[in-house]
Amino acid sequence: MKKLLTPDPSRIGRPEGASPQPDAVPAERVNGAPAPLLKALRTLLGEENVSGRVSDLIRYASDASPYRTVPQIVVRPRNAHDLARLMRFAARNDRKITFRAAGTSLNGQAMSEDILVDVKTHFTGMEVRDGGKRIWSRPGVVLGDAQAVLARHGHMIGPDPGSTSVCTIGGVLADNAGGMRCSLERDSYHTLEEATFVLPSGTIVDTTDPGAEEKLAAAEPELVAGLLALRDEIRRDEELVGFLRRKFSIRNTNGLRLDAFLDEDTPVRILMRLMVGSEGIFGAITESVIRTIELPRYKAVAWVMLPDLRQAASYVAPLMDTGAQACELLVAPVLKRSVDNFREAPAEWADIDDNTAALLLEVGGTSEEELDRAIAAAQDVLADAALLSPLSFDRTPEGQRGAWKIRNGLFGLIGGDRPQGTALITEDVCFPPAEVGQGAADLLDLLSSYGYPEMVMGHAAFGNLHFFLLPRLDDDGERAHYANFLDDLARLVIDEYQGSLKAEHGTGVNMAPFLLREWGECAWELMWRVKELIDPRGILAPNVKLTRSQDIHLQRFKSFPRVEDEINACVECGFCEPICPSRHVTVTPRQRIVLRREMARQPEGSELLAKLQQEYEYDAVEMCAADGTCAVACPISIDTGKVMKMFRAAEHDGTAEHIALGTARNFRHFERAARGGVKAAELLDGVAGTGALRGVANAGRAVISSDILPTIPGKLPHAASRTMPATQREGASAVYFPACINRIFGRPHGAPSDQLELPRAIVELGRRSGRPVWIPGDVEGNCCGTPWSSKGYTRGFEDRARAIATDLWRWTDGGALPVVVDAASCTHGLLEQVPGALDGELAENFSRIRILDVVDWLRDEVVDGLTFTDSMGRVAVHPTCSTTHMGLNDDLVALVRRAADEVVVPDKATCCGTAGDRGLLHPELVESATREERAGLTGHFDAFVSDNRTCEMGLEMIAGKPYQSVACLLEKASRPVMTP
């Protein structure tokens, strides 16, 4: 039966001006994965672990590279045994497998024409060992999460690439990733101590098993014999041994680690070393034990400004010899570009000479005294340098974050500014470190001669330089131009400097044709022999790393058709994915954009376009929390949620807009009805239980719409009191505006009986601290408008925005008093959204009103005036997306610390996905958003705290924890003690 209020996905249409593209997915793929393959793999791995819709295939067809390949099917094995079964299936059926984790690959390693294997979803979990000296991990763990956990123990994993916040440990191992501070002895190849991995045959090897060598010999006698024969052959060739040692004396991920045959003696250990940097062509590591690096407890950074690149480069080695942590090289065009885009960049950089170069220097120590000595040593090295500005070391965390923000943000900045239709290609080469200055100068000359951006930067201490290319790869002439550049690049790096064409990003598809040139016939053929020995059927990652095609790197480039302006600049890097609320249940911001670009490629009226739109409705539009945190993670601040809200608006016809406007204008009545409904549900729940309530709600959703009528995912809070606490205007220090959600819902279901409702708690805190607040008598019916704006009801939102602006101006006596708001999302909405709906005098008046979130107010006006009489014990804190946007997370935690013995912010505590009423409409979104956070709520907690009622409700219903406002916590902790 058709639902009464069904969205019309076709109304989102194709992007304006879109035209069909040659790389559009063909119409015959409309039904997704081939039915026999889908059935076979679902039988093998479980239905929920195999995706075959056309949308699923397309969203995994792109990674951060310039390439695009649509797989036949996407699978998510649950463990090593599933992987082994999958390997055997592929061998029996002549299928090809490519592994993918975070999809941050810049070189096309994570795409497949056949079976794409997700080794992230089910491969999470880590354990700190030996006090932080080692970490056990599965491959799906995000590197940044592991680093955060290790930092508590004073350690870190050696590799620290710019993609730390999104890349996974599996990818770090597979690519032998580097980073800003990763010297050779700290890289994955040298610090991997133990591993479990699955070979193409399906054999599982666990290096921690004392009998691993014997078991491998019994299971794979030909493989063992072949490895030992290769080991002896390589060791006998002194010229080859010298060549391998020289090639791996600098960063080099362009090729296979043939030095594994020199560094290890036994087949199991040789295989483990070969797995590092193999980019998935030998198998998959499913568990690893990595030796970590001790963190310097105290650090400082400095910008070393010098007249030219060669002078800058000449100081790199002496500075690193003093024990510096990192030394990054940036040239004038990069520095100038940063001034208008990063507030942390010194304004004077805008006027520097075009020859200027800078070093971003980081030093550290285990104590303040050791840091002092490190700074002094660097100052001694630079004592006679022709510095263009005084040398100043910044020891503050803010200053250090700002400096690295400039360095790491340039990738997105350049990608965001690229001309329409061009790709962003980031290459990384390595020169011998002693020659990095001259190598960088020659590289700049080469870029200039081809008309590519003269923007070289990189890890100068290791000879590793990054640069950017912006070709239009759908143009035959530009593609040939790009190909010629790569040939000249190979000539420069390999022939003139004996460097490596890939320092840390892996070989991938784009440099595979250049392996023979870099390594020579002997080593190249040895690599093939190793591949054919381990993977004789060639089932793993064809043409990744090893290829006999000379033009594979010039095929399957993805087009960049124009889409909506808000998302058009996306480079598909995936930095947004780890924090997206819907990441575990449907799609991520990157995938929303990837799918939208495919709609732009499709011809108008195509069956495949209609299928994409149909699947996009739930996956992308309905399941978007529109919380804006993707913009925080995005290097160029793309807020994909804005486009999803635009699509919601496009799906509303005139009737829906009229109804929404009616609810806005009569919100007072709806507020009363909602409060009454909560009270009735509370009574019914006591009689029939939550399950019965949920059944009634879901029956209505089946008839009306699951995106209009809410369900009941868990215990609802109590209904709020019908009246607000009594307050006086005279003598008030602020106007208190209780958000509508706090006028409808009261105490959490599981809260102690003596906990006050939030409005009363705030009034009490104001009284106790000598900062009384006043609640206007006509506050009922007022709203910031977010419930309408989040659903795309423009007229309803504008009505509420004008109403609240008018009333706030009146209540504050023309801005004379500040306004305190008790829900972070409402504060954020008033600050960021409402001004855009106002004009004229009303806009001017509203701009003069000081709006404070309750956290601002508690921090600045209240907490120092309280006397704390009780400790709240161990408290869990949930920072909301709105407190993140407003920069209040640290303040929220600091307030809780005033009243608690211990404060815990669980790892991966990001947006909870409740997003107003999304949590009631789609509780699966909250389940997805809070999965890792809930796992981090281990042990006993005495209280659970946040700063937004809807977030608190979502967490209560899904996590079963009675979350409350920080104001309620502080009220209870400062409650006067009654004495007899």
Q: What single-letter amino acid sits at 971?
A: E
Q: How many other CB atoms are there within 10 angstroms of residue 684's CB atom?
A: 14
- Strand 97-100 versus strand 115-118 pairing type: parallel
Kindly report the CATH number that applies to the domain delimited by 868-973: 3.40.50
Judge if 127-294 and 868-973 fold alike in CATH terms. Answer: no
Are 966 and 843 contacting, i.e. CB atoms less than 8 angstroms apart?
no
The percent helix, strand, coil of the chain (3-state, each to 5) is: 45, 10, 40
Give 320's DSSP letter.
H
CB atoms within 10 A of CB 368: 11
- Phi/psi for 68 (5° steps) reads -150, 125
What's the rounded Cα separation, in Å, for the pair 560 and 22? 11
User: Tokens 């869990």 correspond to what residue?
Assistant: 876
CATH topology of domain 1-21+561-649: Fumarate Reductase Iron-sulfur Protein; Chain B, domain 2 (1.10.1060)
pLDDT (0 to 100) of residue 700: 46
pLDDT (0 to 100) of residue 669: 87
Q: Which of 176, 88, 79, 163 is nearest to 119 (CA)?
A: 79
Strand-pair category, 284-291 with 192-198: antiparallel
pLDDT block averages, 10 residues each, the chain of length 980: 54 84 96 98 98 98 96 98 98 98 94 97 97 98 96 96 94 96 96 98 98 98 98 98 98 97 98 98 98 96 96 94 95 89 91 96 95 97 96 95 87 82 94 94 96 92 95 95 97 97 95 97 98 98 96 96 95 94 97 97 95 95 93 90 91 80 87 82 59 48 49 73 95 97 89 91 98 97 89 90 97 98 96 96 97 98 96 96 95 97 93 83 90 93 95 90 96 84
What lies within 8 Å, CB to CB, of 764 at 6+ separation is: 756, 971
Sorted by where each begins, the domain ranges of the chain are 1-21+561-649, 127-294, 298-505, 665-861, 868-973
Considering the domain 298-505, what is its CATH architecture? 3-Layer(aba) Sandwich (3.40)
Q: Looking at 366-514, which runs of residues are DSSP E strands?
A: 425-430, 457-459, 464-469
As given in the structure block, the two tokens for residue 856 are 């601002």
- Rounding to the nearest 10 degrees, give the CA dihedral for residues 232, 234, 239, 240: -170
Contacts of 7 (CB under 8 A, 6+ apart): 617, 621, 622, 651, 705, 707
Q: At 328, which amino acid appears? A: E
Token couple for 397: 């965390």
Q: Show the tokens assigned to 387.
A: 């510095």
Please spell the DSSP secondary structure of 816-847, one letter per residue.
TS-EEES-HHHHHHHHHTGGGG--HHHHHHHH
For residue 606, what are its two tokens? 């195509």
Buried-exposed string 32-54: b where 16+ CB fall within 10 A, e elsewhere? bbeeebbebbbebbeeebbbbbb
Side chain identity at 913, as an amino acid letter? Answer: G
Q: CA-CA distance, 959 to 930, in Å (whole number)?
A: 8
Amino acid occupying residue 840 = G
Instruction: Give just the sign of the alpha carbon dihedral 365, 369, 374, 375.
Output: positive
DSSP state at residue 965: E
pLDDT at residue 10 in the model:
74
Answer yes or no: are the C-beta atoms of 854 and 957 closer than 8 Å: no
* 3-class secondary structure, 167: coil
Extract long-range pairs of 370-377: CB within 8 Å, 24+ residues apart: 370/296, 370/298, 371/296, 371/298, 371/299, 371/300, 371/395, 374/300, 374/322, 374/323, 374/324, 375/300, 377/322, 377/323
Q: Which of 78, 157, 145, 173 is nearest to 117 (CA)?
A: 78
The reported pLDDT for the residue numbered 75 is: 98
d(CA 36, CA 20) in angstroms, rounded, equals 31
Contact (CB, 8 A) for 788 and 797:
yes
pLDDT at 917: 74
CB-based contact 440:309 (threshold 8 Å)? yes
Alpha helices in 666-739 (DSSP H): 667-688, 690-703
* Of 567, 565, 354, the residue nearest 455 (C-alpha): 354
Kindly report the number of other CB atoms within 10 A of residue 29's CB atom.
Answer: 16
Summary count for the chain: helices (H), strands (E): 40, 25
Q: Cα dist. 350→250, 310, 360, 404, 468 in Å? A: 34, 21, 17, 19, 21
DSSP result, 59-121: HTSB-SSSBB---SEEE---SHHHHHHHHHHHHHHT--EEEESS---SSSTT--SSEEEE-ST
Q: Which SS3 state, helix, strand or coil, does residue 603 take?
A: coil
Cα 830 to Cα 824: distance, rounded to the nearest angstrom: 10
Domain 127-294 indexed as CATH 3.30.465.10:
yes
Q: How far apart are CA 90 and CA 77, in angstroms?
A: 14
- CA dihedral of 542, 547, 551, 556, whole degrees rounded to 10: 10
Q: Cα Rg for the chain, rounded, in angstroms?
A: 30
265: buried, middle or exposed (CB in 10 Å: 19+, 13-18, 0-12)? exposed
